[in-house]
Amino acid sequence: MEDGILEAAEPTVAPGRGTADDGPSSRRPRWPVVVLVVTALVLVGAVVFAVLATSDRNDAAGARRTARHLLAVQRTATQRAESSYDDLRTMVQAGVGPVAAVVTSTQGLVSLADQGTQAAKTVQGLGADPTTTPDAYNGAIDTANAITAQYDAMLHAVDDQLRSLGGSTSNGSTKA
């Protein structure tokens, strides 16, 4: 302090660091650069994620369209198969009635054939027995002949039923 003038003290500055008055600093803090790099990486990651998500969504939409198309094709095929099945079932049901009548008639034939076999055995047994009277023998023959006539009549009825169905007859001929 000389002459009463106060002199300003010079600020002390650490080496390599300037003051605000010294102008632009040659060394800047690093945190803004780090923040900028991290922000850029997050932005790139978000863009990659968005692109992949859009691609996956488009793939899923395409798969869904393909599945809908295949389902429509399968439904159409199923409807055709059901329609064919219904047509076949109707045809079978239409044919069952007449065939059932023929089968029922043939069951009667089996019963008459059994009766005819028993009648024939009776006639043979009476014919072999020397004590049999001619009236008893003739009566057994008449019974066997009546059963045979019934069998023939029923066989003709079955034959007529088969002709009405358009199939072959019992004698092997077919309807013309």
Give the integer Cα–Cα distance in Å for 95 and 90: 9
Look at residue 90 and give its three-state secondary structure: helix
pLDDT at position 160 over 90 = no
At which residue do the structure tokens 């065939």 appear?
99
pLDDT digits (tens, 9 = 90+) for 90-104: 888 887 877 787 788
Contacts for 62 with CB less than 8 Å, ≥ 6 apart: none
Give the integer Cα–Cα distance in Å for 48 and 40: 12
State the pLDDT at residue 24.
55
pLDDT band at 149 (very low <50, low <70, confident <90, very high): very high
pLDDT digits (tens, 9 = 90+) for 133-142: 999 999 999 9
Sign, CA torsion 157/161/166/171: negative
Which of 34-43, 91-100, 152-161 is predicted least confidently?
Answer: 91-100
pLDDT band at 81 (very low <50, low <70, confident <90, very high): very high
Domain residue spans in the chain?
29-165
What's the mean per-residue pLDDT of the chain? 81
State the pLDDT at residue 176.
45
Which of 13-27, 70-84, 104-118, 159-173 is predicted least confidently?
Answer: 13-27
> Are the beta carbons of 124 and 106 closer than 8 angstroms?
no
